[in-house]
Chain A
Amino acid sequence: DAGVIQSPRHEVTEMGQEVTLRCKPISGHNSLFWYRQTMMRGLELLIYFNNNVPIDDSGMPEDRFSAKMPNASFSTLKIQPSEPRDSAVYFCASRDREGTEAFFGQGTRLTVV
């Protein structure tokens, strides 16, 4: 397996634009996580899916953020409209089952200017 695949690797966008980040989890994994990493706040959990169902989205900062998982092999994180304070590295991770290792993608480095 190629591991967790995220796209794009880098994204630069203007304030107010819509941004969509994509994630393909490892085949067979039934949990998926979206994290945001900044120097100031570290690695923050945004949302957690189990069997394609959002279980906990309490970390989503505000209504501008939304996440979907239409099937077991694909998830998106959308920011609309984007703001400069959204600039961060966004990671997707997947896990086989509770209590096991979560595997991370390479991340998407988002810059909103």
Chain B
Amino acid sequence: QKEVEQDPGPLSVPEGAIVSLNCTYSNSAFQYFMWYRQYSRKGPELLMYTYSSGNKEDGRFTAQVDKSSKYISLFIRDSQPSDSATYLCAMTLNDMRFGAGTRLTVKP
């Protein structure tokens, strides 16, 4: 079993849809949870960062962490074509472990 599991998709939604992206993990020692966004032929860039269980909101983006279930989510409201990218969850203890990434396409 991988330490971090993420459905690679691809996921295609119409513009304006709510997008839900999820990851599960096996190591309960992970302390920090992040979502990175990666555009084609670019390096990943940090999108959201959380430490504790609960929700964190930033504009159209909401990150959720449920440590008891070892489950994290990223919600995108009012999705836009510019949101089309690969979204990777990441978790840190000392190093950083990534999920496989979910490729999202938002169609106009």
Contacts and interface: CB of A to CB of B under 8 A. Distances in A.
Contacts, number: 55
Given A98-B92, A99-B31, A99-B32, A43 B43 contact: no
Contact of B44 (A43, A48, A56): A43
A42 B95 contact: no
B43 A106 contact: yes
Contact of A102 (B31, B96, B100): B96
B42 A48 contact: no
B77 interface: no
A43 B94 contact: no
A87 B39 CA distance: 20
A25 interface: no
A104 B95 contact: no
Interface in B71-108: 88, 90, 92, 94-101
B39 to A, nearest CB: 11
B49 interface: yes
A95 B31 CA distance: 16
A104 B36 CA distance: 11
A103 to B, nearest CB: 8
A107 B95 contact: no
Interface in A53-76: 55-56
B34 interface: yes
Given A42-B8, A99-B31, A101-B34, A55 B45 contact: no
A33 B41 CA distance: 19
Contact of B43 (A55, A101, A104): A104
Contacts of B43: 4, 91, 93, 104-107
A107 to B, nearest CB: 6
A59 to B, nearest CB: 9
Give me the 6 closest cross-chain CB pairs, A-B, nearest first.
A104-B43, A42-B100, A43-B98, A48-B95, A101-B46, A99-B32
Interface of A: 4, 33, 35, 41-43, 45, 48, 50, 55-56, 91, 93, 95, 98-99, 101-102, 104-107
